[in-house]
Structure 1
Amino acid sequence: MGTIELGPERGRLLIKTGRTGLGRRAGHDLTIEATRWSGALTLPGDATSVADATAEGSSVEVRVPVDALDVREGAGGVLPLSDQDRTEILGNLRTVLGAAEHPEITFESTGVHGTPAEFTVEGRLTVAGRTEPLALRARAEDGRVVGSATVKQTRWGIKPYSAFFGALKLADDVAVEFDLRL
């Protein structure tokens, strides 16, 4: 079996949020990046690259410190995203995720199905101390693995952020995207 170490030097992990509610025009759709993270991709048999491997028998695990999440972009909104907004958003994020008690977000695969060209990774995502199943869709091409999943915050016991007496709300569905060079 071949193991490929994963981290920011190999690619990006992004979280993308949307907004809902009557006041949604005031808020921003956010792109949040994990600036520090680690993981391992284990390939079956004697495979040493994704191109040589079959999806079946592969596994992946990833660890992201909550304090390594950083706001990279805020699209939309009445005003541009300020540094003060970024600081406030990160503070709210760490509070909502219970970073003091649960400092890491983890994903551990339980099965991989498909072909290197297109596959699904099933696993367990732990956020804020709660573990739930999650399926990622991905594809390998030109030495990269690109994929995504949708995380419904309430499924992990997270109440989506709201402001202005509920007029501005973070959408329950959050997109997680990754682009890795292997």
Structure 2
Amino acid sequence: MSPRLANIPRKYCLLITGFVFLSFSLSANVQAQVATGEIDTKTSRVYTFVGKTGFGHEHAVIGEIKAGSLNLGARSNAGKIVFDMTTWKADTAEARKYIGLKGATSASTQKDVNANMLGSSVLNVRKYPTATFEITSAVPVKQNAPTGKSFYQLDGKFTLHGVTRNQRLIAEVTEKKHQNHVRTSFTIKQTHFGITPYSKAFGAVGITDELKIYGELDIAR
């Protein structure tokens, strides 16, 4: 016992100790509640498959999540995901492996592709540095799934390049120790968001209007 507590009656010492323990427990509980549903931006990633037209090339793009949360089971106000469009990078080794594209892309080609993708004629990240998915609901759906996996239907509004459209997708959820791993995918058309697909040489080289987007998210339980 510390010198300061030596002269305090035992019953008061027990009360003080109990109060400190209760305060610590309540604080930890509040922190856990706040963290529930929060997306781990360090480990979560988004990948995009970009198809080709004419003599163009297929591309794999990786991007980061800036912030967000997803409350699985919520029928309203289920969360929001903010995509950091300034981090989008084309044809990294990780992105190509995830999408399933063979071979590698030279540093100079990556630089050119990124400049076109992030520039004012396509994503225009200076004007639109983020995209968002406002999730209205995240309700469970019945699926024939392996043990430990469940599925949720996510409905909400996806905003890209300043344009907002309704979006529905199915998410596969796997339970981990302290997190839920959420895997999902959906397709969009660039023209639906006011983006003109990149092309050159009068259309002889270009990319497809449709993009396939994959999400790999870790969410606190």
Specify the TM-score bucket, using the shorter chain as the normaliser: 0.7 to 0.9
Choose from 87, 90, 93 the match for 1:68: 87
| d(CA) in 1 for partners of 2:65, 2:151 | 27
- Structure 2 match to 1:46: none
For the residue of structure 1 that corresponds to 2:202, the secondary structure is helix
- Structure 2 match to 1:100: 126
Aligned residue identity for 1:150: T
Counterpart mapping for 1:123-162 below 5 A = 123-143=156-176, 144-162=181-199
CA contact (8 A) 1:5 1:39 kept: yes
Q: Does 1:85 align with 2:114?
A: no
- Alpha-carbon deviation of 1:60? 2.5
- Structure 2 match to 1:114: 140
- Structure 2 match to 1:50: none
User: Percent of counterpart pairs with the same letter?
Assistant: 25
- Alpha-carbon deviation of 1:165? 2.1
Counterpart mapping for 1:19-98 below 5 A = 19-21=52-54, 23-24=55-56, 27=57, 29-43=58-72, 54=73, 56-57=75-76, 59-71=78-90, 72=92, 73=95, 75=101, 80-95=104-119, 96-98=122-124
CA contact (8 A) 2:65 2:82 kept: no
CA contact (8 A) 2:140 2:152 kept: yes
For the residue of structure 2 that corresponds to 1:165, the secondary structure is coil
Q: Whose Rg is larger?
A: 2
CA contact (8 A) 1:149 1:175 kept: yes
Return the TM-score normalized by structure 1.
0.79
In proportion to residue count, which structure has more helix? 2
CA contact (8 A) 2:66 2:83 kept: yes
CA contact (8 A) 1:7 1:37 kept: no
CA contact (8 A) 2:77 2:136 kept: no
Q: Does 1:164 align with 2:201?
A: yes
| d(CA) in 2 for partners of 1:42, 1:112 | 7
- Alpha-carbon deviation of 1:57? 4.4
Structure ranking higher on relative contact order (CA contacts 8 Å, 6+ apart): 1
For the residue of structure 2 that corresponds to 1:86, the secondary structure is helix
| d(CA) in 1 for partners of 2:44, 2:65 | 11
Aligned residue identity for 1:164: A
- Alpha-carbon deviation of 1:141? 2.0
| d(CA) in 2 for partners of 1:35, 1:84 | 22
Q: 1:80 to 1:63 in 2, by over 3 A?
A: same
Unmatched 5+ residue regions in structure 2? 1-32, 142-148
**CA RMSD of superposed structures (Å):** 2.3
- Counting matched residue pairs gives 166
Q: 1:80 to 1:179 in 2, by over 3 A?
A: closer
Unmatched 5+ residue regions in structure 1? 44-53
| d(CA) in 2 for partners of 1:172, 1:11 | 26
In proportion to residue count, which structure has more strand? 1
Aligned residue identity for 1:161: Y
Choose from 17, 41, 59 the match for 1:8: 41
- Alpha-carbon deviation of 1:58? 6.5
